[in-house]
């Protein structure tokens, strides 16, 4: 299922999708919307999905082979939510619940594409480039530096890419990422530090113009991240 501006998809009682006009947002919070959905309010489900769709779409955008694949993984995430909504007990936020599903959907997608992962299951080392060699991100930037930044994210281990993109594209802090992914804060801090260094080295290698090229200032990574957010309308 592809998503587009002006289209509104709603879940029916069988977990299937129907198309409606866009809804005006209510003042209900996520848990209230989920409770209303459980009680049979399909419009509450629609509003809940609209609220979280942009972030879930961004989560997949730079980690797949094509934009069509990204659309499909977004669909799988929300359909999995419809199938598991009654198992949500409120120990975590609805946002964390959705990202937990998206995380699993992403790793299953990459695992199916990568023989090494099917054999070892090691996302600490495998990157998107391993799964989809010579493919380009669907995020297209005008400046070479920013495009190199986007592409380099696909060339570091997926686990590192996930936390860096949550930090750079969603503006989350280390504790917020740890809470969202349900992992230890120390683990996230380690992934951020390691991922930044790997990312800096990859971009530096691409941008180097000769043996006397200077080392890349790590602060430029945030500059390019802001450029991506602005160009994509994410900030």
What string of pLDDT tens digits covers the 235 residues of the chain? 444 434 445 554 444 444 444 555 668 899 899 888 888 898 998 999 999 999 999 999 999 999 999 999 999 999 898 888 888 877 788 899 899 999 999 988 988 876 655 555 566 778 898 888 888 899 999 999 999 999 999 999 999 999 999 999 999 999 999 999 989 999 999 999 999 999 999 999 888 865 555 788 999 999 999 999 999 999 7
Residue keyed to tokens 């860096």: 164
Which of these CATH numbers, 1.10.1740.10, 3.40.50.720, 3.20.20.70, 3.30.70.260, describes 1-113? 1.10.1740.10
Cα–Cα distance for residue pair 46/41, rounded to 1 Å: 9
> What pLDDT score was predicted for residue 16?
45
Instruction: Count other C-beta atoms under 10 Å from residue 9's C-beta.
Output: 17
Instruction: Taking each helix axis as running N to C, give the angle between helix 94-113 and helix 174-181, from 0 to 180 degrees, rounded to the nearest 10.
Output: 80
Domains 1-113 and 121-235 fall in the same CATH topology: no
Paired residues of 9 in beta bridges: 19
Residue 26 half-sphere exposure toward CB, CA atoms < 13 A? 14
User: Rg of the chain's alpha carbons, rounded to an integer?
Assistant: 19
SS3 percent helix, strand, coil of the chain, rounded to 5, is 65, 5, 35
SS3 18: strand
Cα–Cα distance for residue pair 20/61, rounded to 1 Å: 25
CATH 1.10.10.10 fits 121-235, yes or no: yes
Give the residue among 157, 154, 63 at the shortest CA–CA distance from 102.
Answer: 63
> What pLDDT score was predicted for residue 211?
58
Give the residue among 19, 11, 182 at the shortest CA–CA distance from 83.
Answer: 11
Residue keyed to tokens 């919307």: 33
Give every CB contact of residue 31 below 8 A, 6+ residues apart in sequence: 90, 94
**Domain residue limits, the chain:** 1-113, 121-235
> What pLDDT score was predicted for residue 55?
95
């Amino acid at each position: 299922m592809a998503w587009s501006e002006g289209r509104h998809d709603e879940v029916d009682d069988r977990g299937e999708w129907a198309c409606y006009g866009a809804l005006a947002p209510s003042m209900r919070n996520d848990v209230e919307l989920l409770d209303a959905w459980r009680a049979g309010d399909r419009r509450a489900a629609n509003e809940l999905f609209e609220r979280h769709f942009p972030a879930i779409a961004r989560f997949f955008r730079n980690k797949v082979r094509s934009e069509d694949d990204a659309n499909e993984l977004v669909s799988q995430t929300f359909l999995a939510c419809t199938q598991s909504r009654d198992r949500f007990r409120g120990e975590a936020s609805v946002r964390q619940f959705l990202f937990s599903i998206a995380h699993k959907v992403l790793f299953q997608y990459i695992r199916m594409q990568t023989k090494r992962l099917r054999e070892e299951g090691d996302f600490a080392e495998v990157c998107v480039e391993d799964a989809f060699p010579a493919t380009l991100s669907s995020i297209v930037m005008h400046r070479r530096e920013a495009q190199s930044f986007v592409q380099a994210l696909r060339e570091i281990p997926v686990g590192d890419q996930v936390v860096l993109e949550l930090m750079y594209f969603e503006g989350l802090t280390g504790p917020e990422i740890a809470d969202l992914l349900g992992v230890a804060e120390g683990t996230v801090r380690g992934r951020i530090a390691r991922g930044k260094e790997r990312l800096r080295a990859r971009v530096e290698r691409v941008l180097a113009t000769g043996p006397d090229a200077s080392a890349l200032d790590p602060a430029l990574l945030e500059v390019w991240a802001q450029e991506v957010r602005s160009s994509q309308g994410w900030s």
